[in-house]
Structure 1
């Protein structure tokens, strides 16, 4: 989404998140001159229910206040969170042994039943979860329930949970490490979590911004973190310059790159599982022809390559490097088409035509957008350009009144399945209008896979086939910008999808 999973945002993932700053082991959290530590996010979740979260900002909050069975540490290794250990049999039976001392914020014990219910709620018929499809391969198309718990989940005792997959699913542990699969319970219509910080709605008098107050559960930590919301770059940047906040994240690439940073501030880029691509509406007459889509796409790619920058790096692959095999990326032969070549072949179809291009403002640099518009007009096209915010983009995703749409999409984990929500006909975050049901049909026809290699090869094949049909125009690998005070140290998130914001510290 992107917003998607899409999400705007911030400190991210398994070969997918690499911050330019590092959080040293042993340094104290949020201490020093900033008490409380104040951060402003471009978007905050309306609800902290993990099934309602789809942006990275959302998951940053959820992961600060909750726990999942496992997490990924700063060296990219799986580590226990609620589970102290686990056992895997035949690639399909996972047994998790929970920390017997785990408790919710209200002091009540956290049990295997709580974990089972939290996982199961992603699959309820009325779920708002966007990650349900990630486990389709593991649990099947139509999972069954017993007392609101997936039949695939077996509670051995209060501290032991067994998960029985329909088919081996190699990235299963990666999925469980996502913030979406955090554990919670509901008491009197109120969500209760178990993570390192306790949330409460908050309005900050100094900035007049609302958001969440996060209080350390550990009584030894007296400092708090205020995560506030503003959609105004200039307002937020003014607060940062005056030291009323210490960090801002999730704002437009254009705004960040176009701003001359004041002394005492810096930009940190976070390597994410995110792309900024464009997608065709193939029901529009001009883009029904696959050969034209390819040439037009390669023309746009040529312009994108000229405007590669620190936050949007040119990458002509539908999936970011590292998600599929080397063969997939090595087989790509990038070849751009210039203006003369395009007009010679398609000039009669282009000249005098009007097309509508809708772009998520936060996903592309203003320099690229302006240059692209000029280049397209120079070949005889009239361009209706719409730059929209996230909410406006959602309107266009649901009502495809455009010829081309472009935006950012963030996958939940480093697996090809994590990216298919951006083009799946079943997804609320679907970009473009191009038939893709055949993708899931072809993958399903090859299941169950006998090995991880066989599974990767299947996705290599089907994604390559999709790219050959040019339903989209792969353009950029997206890096999330954070502007912050120079004396703020960010946690290392090189190997994690969402880093731990409670470890942000003041470099004394």
Structure 2
């Protein structure tokens, strides 16, 4: 990826005159070209699984609720919602003027159908579990069946019935994968109601046009063309022939010290995501809790004492990013009190660290290597360019450096990597007791009391030292300086459909 970035910069400078002309034409016609590293295989919102997919999904579809630029919950397809006295029934009233991109009105039947799809056989939904644990009725559905916890009151009114009061429910409905699509028998057509519609889609390119049926504030931009970045040759041709205005998904580690052309800038998109180091608890050596405790302090120390190691990573010695739990949860550790005698068991050993290519910068890699060298350990980096999750599941690492972006701003939105029953599990952590404890407090009605209980539970869990809490991370986007991309503290994916020329 380092060489790709060099090629990008050379080509941008070499073809500056032709680029400027092309850019001017797009600015005048209100069009934008975007390049993604993680290109979606389908436009089905259920299949969205990372922030690059989410920013595309937001262009094409709407949810009942969305989070605005200030971090506040506002209506999207719903213009009003009411919570019952027992806090277990949510009634949503749809905007009766909302239409799908084909001109048909959106009904509560479409909403019920779209949410129920997550529970049908072979849906491959990675977010269905967020609702299955809280819906009043737990049931495996047949294809086409509406979930029994959803009640259609009339064409513009719908109810969701929960097992118990659950304060974060409203945030779950803002997740892009719970977008509303038009009911169809084939379940292969994805007609949405978002600010754009897909004029063209294949495995390498998507053309989005403004949706004049969109019921909320119309986007400023008219068209967005999205390209897939596959390799150097395609990237070169893409830059020369099509001119890129925004690059999304380039690895953070490769972006730290690059010099951009004068008309481009590197934008940091605030996000509530983490990057930590996880011990592989299937390895006998890491079953030693005392060893794990001292390693946590050892690995954290250089990142605590020197804060300028990265533009995108900020030291945070807690599992959850700051902003998820009360400030009392976030702790400080005495890194001067390391018992090196308990680390002697690792002397002269070699440890395999699995990490995604481009994830860390040179300074961070150097810190890790020097830290382990100080106790006589040699690092063997297992650097993976693609299929990172598959490599995790092969379970051939000793230590794993991996990140996660919560799907909604609540501790429950960050738990998947700790589970042993998901495809995305970090470190094979024995977390059964943790989830038993969380089940006791998950449905606490008072939101502040609930978060306080989560704080206590996770403080105790983190004292088992199953992982090394390290960083809170930001998202990086390279864009033209004369393009504006809004962001918000609680919007994990900057809303691409709001981009516009300054």
Q: Shorter-chain-normalised TM-score: which range?
A: 0.7 to 0.9
| Partner residue of 1:58 out of 17, 41, 53 | 53
| 1:211 and 2:205 matched | yes
Secondary structure at the aligned position of 1:149 is classed as coil
| 1:416 and 2:407 matched | no
Q: Are the equivalent residues in 1 in contact too, given 2:59–2:496 (CA < 8 A)?
A: yes
Match of 2:288 in 1: 289
Match of 2:16 in 1: none
Q: Distance in 2 between matches of 1:34 and 1:448?
A: 51
Secondary structure at the aligned position of 2:321 is classed as coil
Match of 1:177 in 2: 174
Q: Distance in 2 between matches of 1:263 and 1:350?
A: 49
Q: Distance in 2 between matches of 1:237 and 1:157?
A: 54
CA change 1:234–1:453 in 2 (3 A) is farther
Match of 1:166 in 2: 163
CA deviation digits over 1:395-424, x for unaligned, max 9?
A: 122221111111111001110000001111
Q: Distance in 2 between matches of 1:297 and 1:369?
A: 17
Secondary structure at the aligned position of 1:456 is classed as helix
TM-score by length of 1: 0.85
Q: Distance in 1 between matches of 2:67 and 2:32?
A: 25
CA change 1:211–1:294 in 2 (3 A) is farther
CA change 1:415–1:251 in 2 (3 A) is same
| 1:105 and 2:101 matched | yes
| Partner residue of 2:110 out of 105, 110, 114 | 114
Match of 1:258 in 2: 257
CA deviation digits over 1:97-129, x for unaligned, max 9?
A: 112222222222221011011112222343311
Tell me which stretches of 4 or more aligned residues in structure 1 moved more than 6 Å.
219-222, 237-243
Secondary structure at the aligned position of 1:344 is classed as helix
Residues matched between the structures, number: 467
Match of 1:123 in 2: 119
Secondary structure at the aligned position of 1:150 is classed as coil
Q: Are the equivalent residues in 1 in contact too, given 2:441–2:453 (CA < 8 A)?
A: yes
Match of 2:15 in 1: none
Secondary structure at the aligned position of 1:363 is classed as coil
Q: Distance in 2 between matches of 1:137 and 1:383?
A: 41
CA change 1:427–1:82 in 2 (3 A) is same
With 139-148 and 99-108 compared, the bigger mean Cα shift is at 139-148
Match of 2:3 in 1: none
Match of 2:8 in 1: none
CA deviation digits over 1:421-470, x for unaligned, max 9?
A: 11111221111111112221112234542422332122112211221111
Q: Are the equivalent residues in 1 in contact too, given 2:321–2:472 (CA < 8 A)?
A: yes
CA deviation digits over 1:29-61, x for unaligned, max 9?
A: x97346531011111211121221110111111
TM-score by length of 2: 0.86
CA deviation digits over 1:145-197, x for unaligned, max 9?
A: 59611111100111110111111111111111111110013465322111110
1:424-435 correspondence runs (5 A): 424-435=419-430
Q: Distance in 2 between matches of 1:354 and 1:222?
A: 53
With 377-386 and 38-47 compared, the bigger mean Cα shift is at 377-386
| 1:40 and 2:32 matched | no
CA deviation digits over 1:262-299, x for unaligned, max 9?
A: 22211110111211111111121221111111111211
1:436-475 correspondence runs (5 A): 436-446=431-441, 448-475=443-470
With 288-297 and 180-189 compared, the bigger mean Cα shift is at 180-189
| Partner residue of 1:496 out of 466, 477, 491 | 491
CA deviation digits over 1:63-115, x for unaligned, max 9?
A: 11001111122222222211121111121111111122222222222210110
Q: Distance in 2 between matches of 1:31 and 1:469?
A: 55
For residue 133 of structure 1, report the CA deviation from its aligned partner. Answer: 2.5
| Partner residue of 1:149 out of 146, 150, 173 | 146
Q: Distance in 1 between matches of 2:141 and 2:241?
A: 54
Higher relative contact order (CA 8 A, sep 6+): 1
CA change 1:295–1:47 in 2 (3 A) is same
For residue 310 of structure 1, report the CA deviation from its aligned partner. Answer: 2.0
CA change 1:429–1:354 in 2 (3 A) is same
CA deviation digits over 1:243-272, x for unaligned, max 9?
A: 811111111111111322222211110111
Q: Distance in 2 between matches of 1:222 and 1:176?
A: 27
Match of 1:190 in 2: 189
Q: Are the equivalent residues in 1 in contact too, given 2:70–2:488 (CA < 8 A)?
A: no
Q: Are the equivalent residues in 2 in contact too, given 1:275–1:478 (CA < 8 A)?
A: yes
For residue 363 of structure 1, report the CA deviation from its aligned partner. Answer: 3.3
Unaligned runs of at least 5 residues, structure 2: 1-24
Secondary structure at the aligned position of 2:134 is classed as helix
Q: Distance in 1 between matches of 2:80 and 2:130?
A: 23
Unaligned runs of at least 5 residues, structure 1: 1-29, 204-208
1:282-361 correspondence runs (5 A): 282-305=281-304, 306=306, 308-329=309-330, 332-336=331-335, 341=338, 343-347=340-344, 349-361=345-357
Match of 1:10 in 2: none
Q: Are the equivalent residues in 1 in contact too, given 2:58–2:497 (CA < 8 A)?
A: no
Secondary structure at the aligned position of 1:276 is classed as strand
With 139-148 and 129-138 compared, the bigger mean Cα shift is at 139-148
